[in-house]
Chains A and B, each alone.
Chain A
C-alpha cells in the first residue's frame, strides 16, 4: 500500500486554490479546444505548452493534463449534439449519440456520455495508481538495449495495430525519425541533414509539426467539406440528469468491458481512437438485441465513451513509467516534460515523486472537475459552434500562428507550420496516419541514443538485442507484432479464396 501513501502525499502537493483554478482553466480551454473543429487535444496542448515554460512543472502539468481531459469531453459534446466529432476518438460516439439527441434525448445522451467517460477515466487513474510504481521499478532494470527494445515494441505495435496500410504507417513514422534527427547531433555535436539551410540548424520542433499537421491540416479539411452545423438545441435538465444517473448501473457490464479494452489500448500505443471503435464493435456484437444500435442505443454511447477516456488516461502510464507515450497527446506532454527539464521514465519516480504523484492525484480531481464543468457548460459551447466558420476559422489560424512563433521566437516556424499543414491535409486524405509521425519526432533522439549506446556496448553487433531474457522477449514481441499484418494478410487471402463474399463483414470494426 506504499502507492496509496504516495498518492496521499501527491494530494498534499496539489491541494491549493491556485492549482484548483488551473484545473478549471485547463478543463475549460480543453473543452473549447475539443469542441472547435481543427483544434484537437494534441494541438491544444502544443499551443499551451510555450506558455508554461515559465511555470513550475507541477502547475504546468496540471494545466496541460486537465486540458487533455477537457478536450476528450468536448469532443463527445459535438459528436452528440452536432454529429460532428470534435476529436477523432469520439467518432464512434456519433453512431448512437446523435440519433439519441435527435429523438429528444440529448440530455440523457450527454449525461450518459460524460458519466461513463468519467468512470472510464477514473478506472484508468486507479490502474495507474496501482501499477505505475511496479512498472517503474521493473523499468529500473533497463539499460540501453532494453530501452531500444521498448521503443521498437511501441513502434512495431503501431505498424501492426494501425488500421492504415502498414507501409503508410512505416513511411509516416520514419519521416518523424528523420525530422527528429535534423539539426545538432546530441552525441557528436555534428550538424545533420541541414543541407546548409541556416533555419534548420536548431532542428524542427515537434510542436510545430503538431500545430501544422493537426491544426492547419484539419482546418483545410474542414473548409473543403464546407462546414455547416445543424445542431440540436440542448438544455441539460437537472431532473433528466438525475434519472439518467439511476440508469447507469444497468450498463455495468458494458462499462466494465469497455474499461478493460480502453486500458489495454491505452497502455499499448493503439490509443483512444482504436479503443472507442473496438469497444463499440464489441458492445454491438455481444448485445442480444442489436436492432437499436445505430438508431440511438444508450449502450452505443456508453461503450465508446468509457473506452475513449480510459484509454486516454491509461496512455499516461507508459509515458510516466517508461518514457514511451501511448497517444499523440501524451507524446506532446512528454515533450513538455523534457522541455521543463524532467526526464520521463523510471528515474522520475525516484527523483521527483512530488511531480509524479501530484500529477496522478490531479488526474483524480481533474476528471471530477471536468465532469461537472462539462455538464454545466454544454449550452455555452453549443452556442459557440453557431458562430460562422468565417470568423472561427481565421481566429483559430491566428492562435496557431501565435503559438508557432512562441515555440522558439522564430518567424520561419510560421511558414514551417503552413508546410506541415499541407502535409497533414494531403496525408489525412490519403490515409497516412499522423500520430506515429509525432511520436517518432518526440522519441527520435531517445530511440537513437539507446540504439547507439547499445551499439557502443556491443562494438557494433546486433546480437546485443538478444543477449538476455528480458531484451530478447521484448524484441521477439516487437518482431511478432511487426510480422503480424503479413500473417493476417496471408491467412486472409487463403480464406478469401475459399469463400469470397463472407470475409468483409466478419470484422468487428466494420460494424456500423
Chain B
C-alpha cells in the first residue's frame, strides 16, 4: 500500500528514486493492460491534433494584420503552433523514455475500479440534466451507497435525500444561488 501510494502523488516533482520503484511495481503487477508508451503517444497525438485545430480555427477568422492591429486569430495561431511543436517533441520523448520499459498505464483490474466510479458519475450528469441536480444528487448518492457501499436501502435512501436537502438549504436559502431544478420540483411548486 504505502510504496504504491507515494509515486502517485509524487509526479509533481518527479523524484527519480520513486519513479524507478513505480516501474518495478507496475511491471510485477500485470502483463495485461494498456502500456504507458501507447498512452503517451495517444495523448501527444491528441494534443497535437488540438493544436492543429487551433491553428485552423485561427486562420479561419484571420491570423494576419488588419487596420486595427493584429487580427483576432493572430495570437491563438502561434499558440496552436507551439502546441503542435510541444506535442511532436513529446512523441519523440515517448520513444526515448517509455518504449520497452514495460510500464503499464492501466491494467484491467484497475480499469474496472475506475469505470465503477466514472460510469455512475456520467449517469449522474445525464440524469441531472433531465431531472435537475437535487433529484440527481439524491438518486446518485443513494444508488452508489446501495450498490457500491452495500448499505441497506433504508440507510442509503434517507442519506441521499438528506444530502440533497442539505444542498437545498445551503444553496437556495443560505447563499441564494439556485441549482438546476427539473420536473420533480415543479410538481412541488418549488422554483
What residues of chain A have their CB less than 8 Å away from a CB belonging to chain B?
50-51, 53-54, 83-85, 88, 91, 94, 163-165, 167-168, 170-171, 174-175, 177-178, 181, 185, 187-188, 190-193, 195, 216, 219-221, 223-226, 228, 230, 273-274, 277, 388, 390-391, 393-395, 397-398, 401-402, 405-406, 409, 411, 414-415, 418, 425-433, 448, 451-452, 455-456, 460, 504, 507, 509-510, 512
Contact = CB atoms under 8 A, between A and B. Distances in A.
Contact of A163 (B13, B54, B85, B167): B13
B24 interface: no
Contacts of A84: 5
Contacts of B11: 164, 428-429, 431
B110 A224 contact: yes
Given A226-B113, A391-B159, A401 B12 contact: no
B161 interface: no
Given A170-B86, A394-B140, A398-B140, A429 B105 contact: yes
B177 to A, nearest CB: 5
Contacts of A228: 1
B122 A192 contact: no
A510 B16 contact: yes
B42 to A, nearest CB: 9
Given A178-B54, A187-B72, A390-B144, 11 more contacts: A94-B6, A167-B90, A187-B69, A192-B58, A192-B61, A393-B144, A395-B141, A401-B137, A430-B36, A509-B13, A510-B16
A245 to B, nearest CB: 30
Nearest to A451: B75
A83 B121 contact: no
A414 B76 contact: no
Give the 8 A-B CB pairs with smallest separation, nearest first: A390-B149, A171-B86, A456-B69, A170-B86, A190-B72, A185-B72, A223-B117, A193-B57
Contact of B145 (A94, A181, A391, A504): A391
A438 to B, nearest CB: 14
A430 B17 contact: no
Interface string B150-166: 00000000010001000
Given A175-B83, A398-B140, A167 B75 contact: no
Counting chain A CB atoms within 10 Å of each CB, the highest count among B75, B125, B179 belongs to B75
Nearest to A184: B72
A273 B15 CA distance: 13
A225 B8 contact: yes
Given A54-B176, A165-B90, A401 B39 contact: no
Counting chain A CB atoms within 10 Å of each CB, the highest count among B12, B44, B71, B171 belongs to B12
Interface string B70-94: 1111111001101101110110010
A174 B83 contact: yes
B90 A171 contact: yes
Q: Is the interface of A mostly helix, strand, loop or mixed?
A: helix
Contact of B47 (A171, A273, A510): A171
25 contacts: A54-B175, A83-B2, A91-B10, A163-B13, A168-B86, A181-B76, A187-B72, A193-B53, A193-B76, A195-B53, A220-B118, A225-B5, A274-B13, A390-B149, A391-B159, A393-B117, A393-B144, A394-B141, A398-B140, A418-B122, A425-B114, A430-B36, A452-B74, A455-B70, A510-B17
Contacts of B85: 170
Contacts of B110: 224
Interface of B: 1-2, 4-6, 8-18, 36, 39-40, 43-44, 47, 50-51, 53-54, 57-58, 61, 65, 68-76, 79-80, 82-83, 85-87, 89-90, 93, 105-106, 110, 113-114, 116-118, 120-122, 124-125, 128-129, 133, 136-137, 140-141, 144-145, 148-149, 159, 163, 167, 171, 175-180
B79 A177 contact: yes
A172 to B, nearest CB: 9
Contact of B12 (A195, A429, A433, A510): A433
Given A190-B61, A414-B128, A452 B70 contact: yes
Contacts of B175: 51, 54
A470 to B, nearest CB: 23
A167 B89 contact: yes
A88 B9 contact: yes
Contacts of B47: 171, 175
Nearest to A410: B180
B15 A510 contact: yes
B179 A406 contact: yes
A490 to B, nearest CB: 16
